[in-house]
Amino acid sequence: MSWNEPGGNKKDPWSGRDQQETPPDLEEVMRSLQEKLGGLFGGGSGGGKNTNANKSLGLLLAAIPVAVWAVTGIYIVDEGNRGVVTRFGKYVETTQPGPHWRLPAPIESHQIVNVEKQRSIEVGYRSGGRQQASMVEKEALMLTKDEKIVNVGMSVQYQIKDAFNYLFNLPANPESTLIQVTESAERGVIGRNDMGFVLTEGRALIAEEIKTEIQQVLDQYNAGIYVVTVSIKDAQPPEEVQSAFLDAIKAREDEQRLQNEADAYAKKIVPKAYGAAARLAQEAEAYRLNLIAKAEGEAKRFEKLLAEYQKAPEVTRERLYLDTMQEVFEKSPTVLVDVKNGGNMIYLPIDKLRRPSVAAESTKDSDNNAQAVQDVPENVIKDARIGIEREREGRTQR
């Protein structure tokens, strides 16, 4: 049977519009919800009971958003942080790490400040002769005491020591203030020093002095910032004179190298000189002691000789004469014997006689000398003996 036949199904099989039910009324839904809640809170079917249930439901519905609003005031401060609470923008308190509650917004609000994190800024000369600080680049030309220009790059590390002062006593951008304070202190300190001192050995002292001045200014502002370290990362002359400055640095390095070599040579030669001087001093002292000992020995010997001379003067004089002549002849390699009234002079080669390596020659010479003595007339030999005896007698009488 078709759908449009008489007595048949009058409904449209494709649209299904006649099968849809009418959506429930909103008032009926609210009334049903009130009845259910009223049953939960002990409500009945009576009219008075329905009124009390409606009141309880209204209070409950009003308390839910208030509770949610109050929960939004709970906040937690992590370790190493501080919470700064404000009421309508006015400072109320600083909270320590842990869970806390404040009046929800818009009455009160809070800010979390990390007081243990070490922050840093960079100012001054960088690669290319520029300055980097908070992503802003600019030149950092500074005038020194000797009226020279230098580019100095610095790095400043700092921490927040007071969250309230950091948030309320500084402008909206605290880093900008710190950069300006650092530049001012840097220019002041560098302006009191020469360029050579800034570029070479004075970096550590200058950095410490700049740190002190930065901290003093920040304390005057009650900025709540503690400067940890200040370090000079680079210091260069202007680009226009860098080549000449590099030559000057090379000359200074050569000077230092030569100075080190001279110091090394001095350290090497000075001990030798001290050693030679000490050796000479010891030799002189030994020579002095030797002379003193000899003088004392000669004096003692003379004293003993004087005692013997006083006992036997003639014998002592004869002995002294013989000893002296013996010393003289021992030092002389040749002996000449001159006899009075003699025509010949006797030569005795004592030096050759004392040399054992020429014994044969000495024997031959001795034979020749003996032959020469035999050739001497007897009267000459007799006169020589008489002269020697008279000389001895004369010395004995003296």
- In the block, residue with structure tokens 């002296």: 324
Mark 189-210 as b/e (b = at least 16 C-beta within 10 Å).
bbeebebebbbeebbeebbebb
Dist. CA 230–CA 204, nearest whole Å? 9
Dist. CA 131–CA 154, nearest whole Å? 9
Residue 250 pLDDT more than 80? yes
Average pLDDT over residues 100-127: 83
Give the DSSP letter of residue 188: H
Over the chain, what is the mean pLDDT? 75
Of residues 37 and 180, more confidence is placed in 180
In degrees, rounded to 5, the angle at the alpha carbon of residue 94 between the alpha carbons of residues 91 and 99 is 125
Dist. CA 163–CA 43, nearest whole Å? 55
Of residues 301 and 23, more confidence is placed in 301
- Cis peptide before 6, with omega less than 30 degrees from 0? no
Model's pTM, two decimal places?
0.48
| pLDDT single digits (tens) 60-71 | 777 787 778 878
Of residues 205 and 39, more confidence is placed in 205
| pLDDT single digits (tens) 37-51 | 555 445 444 455 556
